[in-house]
Amino acid sequence: MKKKCVIIGIGNPYLQDDRAGLVVAKRLSRQLPTCPTECIYSAGLEIIDKVRGYERAIIVDACRLGYAPGVISEVSMDDILTSRPPINSHTVALGSALKTGYACFPGEMPKDIRIFLIEVKELEEFNLLMSPEVEQSVDKVVNAIKTLLLDTFSSENKPTHP
């Protein structure tokens, strides 16, 4: 039997804005203690083991897509699958890792994956504080995920008869 949902934060805890996904996961672990959370430090194949066995996975990561700092993008699996080579000598892209998981473990992967990306301002600076734009977006993503999970929980527990 699959477990309901896992929240996964991805990032580097020492790089200023790259930590955004980790901060979201840590805040949600305190605010929603019954929902499992995981923190990983790269978007490699490790993600497969973190999402296997769940019906739903919510993944949060920092990104650099060219938007204004703090812009939040909610993307699907189709959005992150890429035509670029999926592997280089150091990493596997998130989309390629998840695609590999579905190919290798089709019955164990989540049917629903939500991915929240937060546009960074500073990605190379070693600093324990995020930029203000990213910090505000972290708060917004935390609230969006709480609302998403609470709405899902409410709709799952509604009576099925009139």
Percent of the chain predicted with pLDDT > 90: 67
* Beta-carbon contacts of residue 32 (< 8 Å; ≥ 6 apart): 7, 146, 149
DSSP label at residue 129: S
Query: Can you give the pLDDT at residue 82?
Result: 59
Length of the chain: 162
The pLDDT confidence band at residue 88, using thresholds 50, 70 and 90, is very low
Q: Is residue 121 part of a domain?
A: yes
Number of domains composing the chain: 1
Domain annotation covers residue 82:
yes
Is the per-residue pLDDT at 89 higher than 70? Answer: no
Angle at 112 between CA 108 and CA 118, to 5 degrees: 120
What is the pTM for the complete model shown? 0.87
Is 150 part of any domain? yes
Residue 156 has pLDDT above 80, yes or no: no
In a domain, 100, yes or no: yes
Structural domain includes residue 67: yes
26 within domain boundaries: yes
* DSSP-derived 3-state class of residue 44: coil
Residue 161 included in any domain:
no
Which residue range is the domain that position 119 belongs to?
3-156
Report the CATH number at residue 22: 3.40.50.1450
162 inside domain: no
